[in-house]
Homo-oligomer: A and B are copies of this chain.
Amino acid sequence: MSNLLGDNYRLMIFGQSHSPMIGGVIEGVPAGVAPDMDFIRAFMARRAPGGALSTARKEADIPEIVSGLNEWGRTCGAPLAFLIKNADHHSRDYADLRDVPRPGHADYTAAIKFGGENDIRGGGQFSGRLTAPLCFAGALAMQLLREKGVRVRARVYSVAGIPDAPLDMARPDLDAIHDGALPCVDPTAAARMAAAIEAARADGDSVGGVVECFATGVPAGLGDPMFDGVENRLARALFGIPAVRGVELGLGFEAANLRGSRHNDAFRMDGDRVVTDTNRHGGALGGITSGMPVVVRVAFKPTPSVALAQNSISLARHEDVPLRIHGRHDPCVVPRAVPVVEGVVACVVYDLMSGDR
Contact = CB atoms under 8 A, between A and B. Distances in A.
Interface of A: 1-5, 7-8, 10, 12-16, 19-23, 25, 27-28, 31-32, 64, 66-71, 74-81, 83, 91, 101, 103-106, 108-110, 112-115, 117-121, 124-126, 130, 158-161, 200, 203, 205-210, 220-229, 231-233, 235-237, 239-240, 242, 244-253, 255-269, 272, 274, 276, 281-282, 284-291, 299-306, 308, 310-313, 315, 318-320, 354, 357
Contacts of A245: 231, 248-253, 255-256, 282
Q: Report the copy number of this chain in the oligomer.
A: 4
A110 B27 contact: no
A8 B290 CA distance: 23
A259 B272 CA distance: 49
A120 B13 CA distance: 27
B25 A126 contact: no
With most chain B CB atoms within 10 A of its CB, the pick from A101, A229, A239 is: A239
A14 B67 contact: yes
Contacts of A242: 286
A32 B115 CA distance: 8
Contacts of A14: 25, 66-68, 78-81
B208 A21 contact: no
B267 A313 contact: yes
Given A10-B1, A281-B104, A285-B105, A21 B263 contact: no
Given A109-B221, A220-B112, A304 B161 contact: no
